[in-house]
Structure 1
Amino acid sequence: MSTLTAQHRPVAGMLWMFSAGMSFVVMTALVKSLGSSMDPTQAAFLRFAFGLIFLLPALRLMLKTHLTRNHIVLLGTRGVVHAFAVMLWFFSMTQIPLAEVTAMNYMTPVYVTLGAALFLGEKLAIRRIAAIGVALVGVLIILRPGFREISLGHITMLGTALTLGGSYLIAKVLVRDLPPSVVVAHMSIWVTIALIPFAIAVWTTPSLRDLGVLFLVASFATAGHYFMTIALKAAPVAVTQPVTFLQLIWATLLGALVFNESIDIWVVAGGTVILLAVSFIAWREAVLNRSSLTTPSIAPKL
């Protein structure tokens, strides 16, 4: 989670967020390319297992950081919650188009905003409530219940955004006491551990191609998080967030050109509505300079 601070490099921030968005879209496309060659749960486990390689730079800080029993409980709980989010996301990728996965993932910060009000005591101003209502309209535009069949993939993607929201609410509590890099590193470790029994239950011997693809997934996910961190240091979320709209454009084009998915203008429209709502919340908090409040960020954190 990040808070708004006075920053003065908006162009650099937008360029870094553009790079982060490209990394996340490539990551998503690589997962999509696996198709049905591997169970989504096993793929999720291997993605995080490979990701542990990138934790080595944070190892010394992790060992030096003192953890209380409460920290360990929260870290473990977050790992389990995030593991379910990852399994749901990988499954959704096998069921619905790239553009729909990307658009529906935009709901994560909306759930975080609601959760911060319900569980962390943050005030929910009328403008935030209105923006949340607009975001929910965006979901209805994407799903269009009554006008088309809502698949299991849509339901699991809604569950993905909800569980990711829960994961980052716990992270918001943890970063009050612990360095963010330690919180992120522990998440990867705990998620990997939590996924082990589920992966064993569906395990099949992976091909070298699948292992290579999943290593690239872990690499692009790590790069995306790194670029996003630099972007948020260079400029506030209110400035960088609108750039993430391009993720939906790239995902739509990749889906059409690489995976022969039809371009659904309703999905693009609904994703745009959600993004505008979330961006308004971030902009409003920047105007009010209420840095203690949760500032939404829509980058997918998988």
Structure 2
Amino acid sequence: MSSTPQRNLLLVVFWMAGTLLSFSAIALSIRALHGALTVFEILALRNVGGLIILAAMMVLAPDPSQRIRPAKPFVHAMRNTIHFGGQALWAYGLTVLPLATVFAIEFTTPTWVAIFAVLFLGERMTRSRVAALVFGFLGVLVILRPGFDSFRPEALAVAAAAICFGVQQTTTKFLTTSNSTWTIMLWMNVVQLPLNLAANVVMGEPAWFAGKLDVAQWLPLLGIGVCGFTAHYCLTNAFRHGDAIVVTPIDFLRVPLIGVIGWLVYAEQPEPAVLLGAAIVVSGVLINVYAESRPRT
């Protein structure tokens, strides 16, 4: 009887280790490619990598759930368009802000998920969700410090990205009842690839940017192409094998991990206000996760 929980915990830790490493690799890859490529070119390469991996999965491990035709196509289109905007804002933030700051602000996403779930999925607004909203708002104010000399307007882009990610995760939850993970990820890349290419052209860049690629960039190119896929794949599997109260606290390790990476690679010193704000945001989310995991009487 005791082996099953242990086995599930080991699987959660395994998949979350992949999640943490994947998101960190994405951040480093975007930083490494910035300057040689635009944000939209980097994200387009991420889409191409995802499509290649999904095609390989269909050939090497065919499954009846791998349906090309999606259910609820309008929701797919809305989800992926908003997610496209969020990813562009998040990637921009990685190029102008300390890595720990970007990841700390991003952790307000669960608060937005709770709000959108109430508005669009008919879920209840509980006291714990209100607490997560309040803590998230206070935490972001501490990180951004509006009105102070240390305020960085660029951080507002990451705050907006977190709202977009909240919409994306809420609609993902809605789509999982009628679409497989493979189908959802397929259409995420199919929709976002032309959006990234079109946005790149609007910026005055050529539609065909392969000439910018250099063999010396193979490591960050591999990181953005592969880890852009594995980050979401690993996180999905972690939730499949464990409850949110187990998965979410592990995911919060992204902030100290990326802080250490930023310190070692870029000599970035995490600001005390960022760490304090991140702790406030995490506290609110943990309160909500704990309350949601308790059996209702």
Instruction: Please confirm whether the aligned pair reaches a TM-score higher than 0.5, indicating the same fold.
Output: yes
Instruction: State the shift of 1:173 in Å.
Output: 2.2
| TM-score for the superposition, normalised by structure 2 | 0.86
Which SS does the other structure have where 1:229 is aligned? helix
What CA distance in whole angstroms lies between the structure 2 residues aligned with 1:58 and 1:113? 34
In structure 2, relative to structure 1, the CA distance for the partners of 1:199 and 1:214 (3 Å cut) is farther
Instruction: Decide which of 261, 264, 276 is 2:268's aligned counterpart.
Output: 261
Q: In structure 2, what is the equivalent of residue 295 of structure 1?
A: none
Q: Is residue 220 of structure 2 the alignment partner of residue 213 of structure 1? A: yes
| Paired letter, 1:277 | G
Q: In structure 1, what is the equivalent of residue 138 of structure 2?
A: 137
Instruction: State the shift of 1:11 in Å.
Output: 4.2
Contact residue 20 and residue 251 of structure 2 kept, 8 A: yes
In structure 2, relative to structure 1, the CA distance for the partners of 1:47 and 1:66 (3 Å cut) is closer
| TM-score for the superposition, normalised by structure 1 | 0.85
Q: Is residue 147 of structure 2 the alignment partner of residue 146 of structure 1? A: yes
Q: Any residues of structure 2 matched to 1:238-249 within 5 Å, and which?
A: 238-249=245-256
What CA distance in whole angstroms lies between the structure 2 residues aligned with 1:188 and 1:250? 28
Q: In structure 2, what is the equivalent of residue 24 of structure 1?
A: 23
Q: In structure 1, what is the equivalent of residue 168 of structure 2?
A: 167
Q: In structure 1, what is the equivalent of residue 126 of structure 2?
A: 125
Contact residue 42 and residue 198 of structure 1 kept, 8 A: no
How many residues are paired up? 283
Q: In structure 2, what is the equivalent of residue 236 of structure 1?
A: 243
Instruction: State the shift of 1:264 in Å.
Output: 1.0
Q: Map Cα deviations across residues 139-163 of structure 1 (whole Å, 9 max, x no partner).
A: 1111112223433420110111111
Q: Any residues of structure 2 matched to 1:61-140 within 5 Å, and which?
A: 61=64, 64=67, 67=70, 71-140=72-141
| Paired letter, 1:130 | A
Contact residue 88 and residue 159 of structure 1 kept, 8 A: yes
Cα RMSD for the two superposed structures: 2.4
Contact residue 78 and residue 167 of structure 1 kept, 8 A: yes
Q: In structure 1, what is the equivalent of residue 257 of structure 2?
A: 250
Q: Any residues of structure 2 matched to 1:163-202 within 5 Å, and which?
A: 163-201=164-202, 202=205
Which SS does the other structure have where 1:258 is aligned? helix
Q: Which moved more, 1:11-20 or 1:123-132?
A: 11-20
Q: Map Cα deviations across residues 77-96 of structure 1 (whole Å, 9 max, x no partner).
A: 22211111111111111111
Q: Is residue 291 of structure 2 the alignment partner of residue 284 of structure 1? A: yes
Q: Which moved more, 1:199-208 or 1:177-186?
A: 199-208
Q: Which moved more, 1:278-287 or 1:57-66?
A: 57-66
Q: Which runs of 5+ in 2 are unaligned?
A: none
Instruction: State the shift of 1:181 in Å.
Output: 2.5
What CA distance in whole angstroms lies between the structure 1 residues aligned with 2:296 and 2:29? 39
Q: Map Cα deviations across residues 267-297 of structure 1 (whole Å, 9 max, x no partner).
A: 122112212221221221111369xxxxxxx
